[in-house]
Amino acid sequence: MNAYAAPQFADIETYLDSQLKKSLLRFITCGSVDDGKSTLIGRLLYESKMIFDDQLASLKNESKKFGTQGEEIDFALLVDGLAAEREQGITIDVAYRFFSTDRRKFIVADTPGHEQYTRNMATGASTADLAIVMIDARKGVLTQTRRHSFIVSLLGIKHVVLCINKMDLVDYDKAVYDKILKDYRDFAADFGFESVQAIPVSALAGDNVVTNSDRTPWYDGPPLMEYLDTVEIRAEDQDKAFRMPVQWVSRPNLDFRGFAGQIVSGRIRPGESVRALPSGRSSKVASIVSYSGDLDEGVEGQSITLTLEDEIDISRGDVLCADQAPAEVSDQFQSTILWMSDSAMLPGRSYVMKIGARECQMQVTEQRYRVDVNTRAHEAAKTLNLNEIGVCNIALDREIAFDAYGDNRRMGGFIIIDRMTNETVGMGLINFALRRASNIHRQSLDVSKELRASMKGQKPVILWFTGLSGAGKSTVANIVEKRLAAMGKHTYTLDGDNVRHGLNHDLGFTDADRVENIRRVGEVSKLMVDAGLIVLVSFISPFRAERRIVRQMVEDGEFWEVFVDAPLEVAESRDVKGLYKKARAGEIKNFTGIDSPYEAPLEPEVHLETDKLSPEDGADRVIAMLQQAGVLSS
Amino acid sequence: MTQLTHLDRLEAESIHILREVAASMQNPVMMYSIGKDSSVLLHLARKAFHPGPIPFPLLHVDTTWKFSEMIAFRDVLKDDPQTDLLVHINQEGVDQGIGPFTHGSALHTDVMKTQALKQALDKYKFDAAIGGARRDEEKSRAKERIFSFRSAQHRWDPKNQRPELWSLYNTRIKPGESVRVFPISNWTELDIWQYIYQENIEIVPLYFAAERPVVERDGILVMVDDDRLPLEPGEEPMMKTVRFRTLGCYPLTGAVESTASTITEIIEEMLRTTTSEREGRAIDKDAPASMEMKKQEGYF
């Protein structure tokens, strides 16, 4: 008889109400092939009255046919589910089992010990609060024990039960138990486990599973079932900052707009401020809606629907965070990846990443090293094969909200999906973001580009003057800026003098540097447009591709290309700064028009032929064009 | 400080799964079998999408041999304007007169349930079918994923399942392929009953004990639900106080003698019972791995 049978209760209602207050504990069992995991789980189910008579009858039947215990019941057959496994006598996949006591309901992930199934162990560990590591008392700490414990710690499990099994086969010898415990503590010292509880058991004979065994009088700890029933798993996720990936935007009618998701950490109450990431917009929680009425509070683990006080744009995949302690945002990370597919992971290939409720494209940009799961040694390797673990840099096609996996499992864990086969080919843990600039929270302020522009009474644009050196770009731009200033417009001019000497003083005149030069000028222009300014850019900018890139950085109608066109001989004859002479003499390399090409615009908004037009007439043409297009009022 | 119970956590997990299906699949459907698990699933779906309606239809595959009380219960739901309930019957099977008595339980189940389900999924081009199966029901279910992938031929390959990590579900499929989704995978029979009690969920009256006409066959009490049950020589229906732990086709579902007529009495009885709920089902007994084989062929 055992202590966990259905209890005697005064009346069913009292009993039921106590049953409804049970907590939930998820754990995994890991160990090598013959360590006796399935037998142990089978016994836990049996002892907690989870095995019914008909199942027991069929178990006895099958024990005779497939069992390894002669006439005895083979508990392993209870949990080895698939027909193929029953025949081979090994567990080949993750199986989930359930049992409960008066205090707790347990979900057990039974994970296989075979080397090729490391991925299944990681799968089981990903949702577990605690791990039972099985050790065969006759064999002690093995390579597999190290591997399993490493994966358990990698996946962030803090509590380990070291089940030293088959004590019956070592005569319940305390010295064997002590040595294994010491060996284990030695190598697991830096795994970050908060607790390691060692228990000497015999799953087969039932020693120290439900009740303390007479055969181990030297053991003064709790039996396994009692330990599982009472171990304190701190609900630390509830104390972390609020995070909720938005799964579903609920819009049943025009008056209701709710954001549904499961709270992965923290708690939230109506009136509290939240921030949507990656957009950075903030609002306050108006209500927490549920089927049985509005809630006063939502906590980690609950699936809820929130409404907000302001109408801000939030869609599936965004993350709602505590406004005062938001998650980070980035698109480049260092991560630890466990590969789960027969086809190797290839840096450079495009995969799909799913994190929270968001899917995006990802690439491994660089694999830094591979980790030997047995020794934890770092090895040089460019790819990852099935069941291999590596540390890789990854880049995404968009920014996402995240926390490091070590801080928040559900904000830092992701899966990798093959784009062609749709198979889940890997799992990853975000270690940290690589782009520091992106860690700065992008303040999404209510003062918008539109507001800044309207305060200045203008439409912000970029006037991009391109042409050969000496074509007259700066001269025309200078006149245009004066006319705009006279009209009360807010302007700024970027040209070689104020950019190349400061922001871009590190750049030369190679093709690569010219590209970077224009990219930076483009980014600065874009910020100025956002600030509401009319920006005049006066750069040779010889390549079409870079000018097109700048055009694409800003919104339609914000980029105006002014081709300041003078034939080379005209420009060269002007030679205000004496540069052509030096270039011809070979003193300056890569000079546009001489030994570096100029790609004339194909469809500029304005084409000024400065050998035929005066600078004033050219400026008039630019102003007239802006008036015609409605950028300036006429 | 809010502390979540095991039922709170199971409920939240199920709602999360239902929302993932609705958000990421093109054309999902929820299988509705009229049983207690379906009642729980329906309740969870209402909660998941409140205050909006459930954003997918329900589908009942009618084998034409269900208990009449089940059909009556279903038809109440059919009239609910908030719920879109589809009913599919394999008309070819009906035309051929397929039934459990004339063709045996295996063929009947295959034609009127497995084939009928495939027909309905093909007809409506559903790419996700949500079902109420639980991992504690049967050994092969214990290893099935929550999002369980099916080939274009509706086949399940137990050795080639997608790993499921954390609560991240890979919902990507190619045209023609589909997924079966099991939001209450991690619930046990006891959890279901406790939840029905806690949430006051309506279930088919057949679960409660009442006097019903039954005959005893091969140790199973079969209810004489209509005059299609062929009585063997000397067989006389007798009135017994019985109830059902699971519901299916009436000739294939055994009653148990019981006086439990309320939810609390059912739970009390359950805590004292020594047989599993599938015991009353004929389908599991054919061969040790029969459920696994049926699942590979496309049975839910």
**A contacts of B9 (beta carbons < 8 Å):** 24, 301
Name the closest residue on chain B to residue A295, using Cα atoms: B2
What pLDDT score was predicted for residue B285? Answer: 44
CATH number at residue A345: 2.40.30.10
**B contacts of A297 (beta carbons < 8 Å):** 2
- Between positions 266 and 305 of A, the ones with CB within 8 A of B are 267, 289-291, 297, 299, 301-303, 305
Active site residue A283: no
**A contacts of B284 (beta carbons < 8 Å):** none
Query: pLDDT confidence of B287, banded at 50, 70, 90?
Result: very low
B22 to each of B18, B19, B56, how far by Cα in Å?
Answer: 6, 5, 7
3-state secondary structure of A391: strand
Return phi, psi of residue A429, to 5°: -125, 125
3-state secondary structure A13-57: HHHHHHHCCCEEEEEEEECCCCCCHHHHHHHHHHHCCCCCHHHHH
Same domain, A179 and A246: no
CA distance B66 to chain A (A): 25
Rounded to whole angstroms, the Cα distance separating A61 from B289 reads 13
- A16's tokens: 């039921």
The closest CB to that of B51, out of A24, A58, A289, belongs to A289
A91 CB-near residues (< 8 Å, 6+ apart): A37, A38, A79, A80, A85, A110, A111, A112, A113
Same domain, A434 and A511: no
Mark yes or no for CB contact B265/A316 under 8 Å: no
Of A101, A109, A39, A120, residue with least CA distance to A73: A39
CA distance A254 to chain B (A): 12
3-state secondary structure of A629: coil
Whether the Cβ atoms of residue A398 and residue A358 lie closer than 8 Å to each other: no
- Name the strand (E) or helix (H) holding A415: strand A413-417
The CATH architecture annotation of domain B6-191 reads 3-Layer(aba) Sandwich (3.40)
Please tell me the total count of domains within chain A.
4
Same domain, A553 and A621: yes
**A contacts of B274 (beta carbons < 8 Å):** 52-53
- A121's tokens: 């162990």
The closest CB to that of B9, out of A252, A297, A301, belongs to A301
What pLDDT score was predicted for residue A339? Answer: 94
Mark yes or no for CB contact A104/B52 under 8 Å: no
CA terminus-to-terminus distance, chain A? 96
What pLDDT score was predicted for residue A201? Answer: 95
CA atoms lying within 13 Å on the CB side of residue B80: 16
**B contacts of A126 (beta carbons < 8 Å):** 165-166
Mark yes or no for CB contact A98/B139 under 8 Å: no
What pLDDT score was predicted for residue A290? Answer: 92
Mark yes or no for CB contact B6/A16 under 8 Å: no
Rounded to whole angstroms, the Cα distance separating A394 from B284 reads 48
Rounded to whole angstroms, the Cα distance separating A169 from B243 reads 48
Same domain, A576 and A526: yes
Same domain, A419 and A453: no
Give just the sign of the alpha carbon dihedral B96, B101, B107, B113.
Answer: positive
The closest CB to that of A299, out of B4, B143, B158, belongs to B4
CA dihedral of residues A110, A113, A114, A117 (deg, nearest 10): 50
What pLDDT score was predicted for residue A64? Answer: 67
**Residue B282 reports pLDDT greater than 50:** no
The answer to whether A352 faces chain B, any CB pair under 8 Å, is: yes
Question: How many CB pairs below 8 A link A and B?
Answer: 195
What pLDDT score was predicted for residue B274? Answer: 60
Instruction: Compare B110 and A357 and report the one with higher pLDDT.
Output: A357
ipTM at complex level:
0.90
**A contacts of B185 (beta carbons < 8 Å):** 96
Mark yes or no for CB contact A247/B191 under 8 Å: no
Of B66, B127, B45, residue with least CA distance to B253: B66
Same domain, A251 and A350: no
**B contacts of A262 (beta carbons < 8 Å):** 12-13, 15-16, 167
Mark yes or no for CB contact A52/B274 under 8 Å: yes
Same domain, A404 and A533: no
Instruction: Compare B296 and B255 and report the one with higher pLDDT.
Output: B255
Q: Strands A358-371 and A378-379, how do they pair? A: antiparallel
Same domain, A469 and A615: yes
Of the residues B166, B178, B220, the best mutation for testing chain A's interface (the one with the most A CB atoms within 10 Å of its CB) is B166
Mark yes or no for CB contact B12/A262 under 8 Å: yes
The closest CB to that of A415, out of B23, B165, B265, belongs to B165
Mark yes or no for CB contact B53/A120 under 8 Å: no
| Tens-place pLDDT, residues B139-190 | 667 778 899 999 888 888 877 788 899 999 999 999 889 999 999 999 998 8
**B contacts of A23 (beta carbons < 8 Å):** 3-6
**B contacts of A239 (beta carbons < 8 Å):** none
Size of chain A, expressed as the number of residues it contains: 634
- Between positions 595 and 634 of A, the ones with CB within 8 A of B are none
| Tens-place pLDDT, residues B207-229 | 999 999 999 988 889 999 988 88
Rounded to whole angstroms, the Cα distance separating A595 from B112 reads 81
Name the closest residue on chain A to residue B52, using Cα atoms: A252
What pLDDT score was predicted for residue A437? Answer: 43
- B146's tokens: 């929550």
What pLDDT score was predicted for residue A120? Answer: 82
Same domain, A84 and A107: yes
Q: Report if residue A203 sits inside a domain.
A: yes
Mark yes or no for CB contact A16/B5 under 8 Å: no
The answer to whether A448 faces chain B, any CB pair under 8 Å, is: no
Q: What long-range pairs does B170-176 form, CB within 8 A, spacing at least 24?
A: B170/A354, B170/A415, B170/A417, B170/A422, B170/A423, B170/A424, B171/B20, B171/B21, B171/B24, B171/B25, B171/B128, B171/B147, B172/A352, B172/A417, B172/A422, B173/A422, B173/B127, B173/B149, B174/A422, B176/B152
The answer to whether A526 faces chain B, any CB pair under 8 Å, is: no
Q: Report if residue A1 sits inside a domain.
A: no
What pLDDT score was predicted for residue A52? Answer: 61
Rounded to whole angstroms, the Cα distance separating A92 from A100 reads 25
- B148's tokens: 């369980």
Whether the ω angle into residue B51 lies within 30 degrees of 0, i.e. cis, is: yes
CA distance B7 to chain A (A): 7
Mark yes or no for CB contact A262/B142 under 8 Å: no
Where chain A has pLDDT below 50, the residues are: 1-7, 82-83, 89-91, 437-444
Mark yes or no for CB contact A262/B136 under 8 Å: no
CB atoms within 10 A of CB A391: 17
Q: Report if residue A444 sits inside a domain.
A: no
CA distance B104 to chain A (A): 23
A325 CB-near residues (< 8 Å, 6+ apart): A241, A242
Please give the DSSP secondary-structure letter assigned to residue B143.
G
Provide the residue ranges of all domains of chain B, joining segments of one domain with +: 6-191, 200-285
3-state secondary structure of A481: helix
Same domain, A312 and A407: no
Mark yes or no for CB contact B4/A301 under 8 Å: yes
Q: In what order do the strands lie in the sheet with A195-200?
A: A95-100, A104-110, A23-30, A130-136, A159-165, A195-200
Q: Report if residue A174 sits inside a domain.
A: yes
The closest CB to that of A297, out of B2, B5, B136, belongs to B2
The closest CB to that of B51, out of A19, A97, A256, belongs to A256
Residue numbers of the domain that contains A390: 330-439
- Between positions 399 and 418 of A, the ones with CB within 8 A of B are 409-410, 413-415, 417
Whether the Cβ atoms of residue A435 and residue A452 lie closer than 8 Å to each other: no
Same domain, A35 and A86: yes
CATH number at residue A516: 3.40.50.300
The closest CB to that of A252, out of B7, B52, B172, belongs to B52
Residue carrying the six token digits 């200045």: A456
CB atoms within 10 A of CB A435: 13
CA atoms lying within 13 Å on the CB side of residue B280: 21
Q: Report if residue A311 sits inside a domain.
A: yes
Same domain, A217 and A345: no
Of A295, A322, A349, which one is at a domain's C-terminal end?
A322
**B contacts of A63 (beta carbons < 8 Å):** none
Q: In what order do the strands lie in the sheet with A258-262?
A: A243-245, A319-322, A273-277, A281-289, A303-308, A258-262, A248-250
Among A48, A282, A283, A541, which one carries the catalytic annotation? A541
Give just the sign of the alpha carbon dihedral A52, A58, A59, A61.
Answer: positive
- B14's tokens: 């199920």
